[in-house]
Amino acid sequence: MDADDPAGANLLIEDLRAEGMAVRDGFLESSVWRTLAACAETRRGRGDFAAARVGAGRTLERREDIRGDFICWLAPPLFAAEARLLGMLEGLRLELNRGGIPGLFDLELHYAWYPPGTGYARHLDRPQNRNARVISLVLYLNEDWATADGGALRCFDGVRPAWDIQPLGGRLVAFLSETLEHAVLPARRPRLSLTGWFRRREELPLRQ
């Protein structure tokens, strides 16, 4: 799928509306996602990644029993491949706005690297009482991933039995941040993705 192709964006919108999610294999060509994986490795080598934490504000803490990944936010200065990806996703954001999911204002995006044996417990992508995140995106950057490697994205929609999506290189998973609970199952080898959210402008915190 080409994110600059309106027809592709329209199909993505149809799936999001009908199923609450969309999965696109080959969203990134192999040369592109492999280059991004190399960018992530360079960043890890120079210490750009930090242990992910759970909670908010003063309650932020590292809880590997809940979440074991290490993350690196995409912010300038960027590698060329990262800048091209952000441009591609900006085109997708504009098409989604034009195609019926209005109000998408920006994108936040980070690498997520899971060491072997780590995962992320079941959760929603909207922090408590915050409503800016509208569409969650996951772009996988894993070479030759097999089911036996673990690390699947397990999805729960409350309607059908839970189902798993394998983190195959080049695959895009997009879903509605507000409604789809999901977890990352522990992997038997390092697992890498780019994870982010198309957001609307932040509104006042929701009341309890």
pLDDT above 90 covers a percentage of the chain that reads 69
Identify whether 32 is part of a domain: yes
Position 182, amino acid: H
Q: Residue 59: which pLDDT band, with cuts at 50, 70 and 90? A: confident
Angle at the Cα of 195 from the Cα atoms of 142 and 88, rounded to 5 degrees: 90
From CA 201, how far away is CA 142, in angstroms rounded? 32
pLDDT at 27 over 80: yes
Identify whether 119 is part of a domain: yes
The per-residue pLDDT for 62 is 79
Identify whether 157 is part of a domain: yes
> By mean pLDDT, which of 78-82, 101-105, 169-173 is the weakest?
101-105
Identify whether 166 is part of a domain: yes
Q: b/e string for 171-204 if b means 16 or more Cβ within 10 A?
A: bbbbbbbeebebbbebbebebbbbbbbbbbeeee
Identify whether 60 is part of a domain: no
Q: Residue 203: which pLDDT band, with cuts at 50, 70 and 90? A: low
Q: Domain count of the chain?
A: 1
Q: pLDDT: is 128 or 39 the higher one?
A: 39
What is the extent of the structural domain holding 85?
Answer: 6-54+67-185
From CA 38, how far away is CA 146, in angstroms rounded? 20
Q: 64 in helix, strand or coil? A: coil
Identify whether 193 is part of a domain: no
Longest CA pairwise span in the chain (Å): 47
The per-residue pLDDT for 88 is 93
The reported pTM is 0.91
The per-residue pLDDT for 207 is 41
The CATH number of the domain holding residue 118 is 2.60.120.620
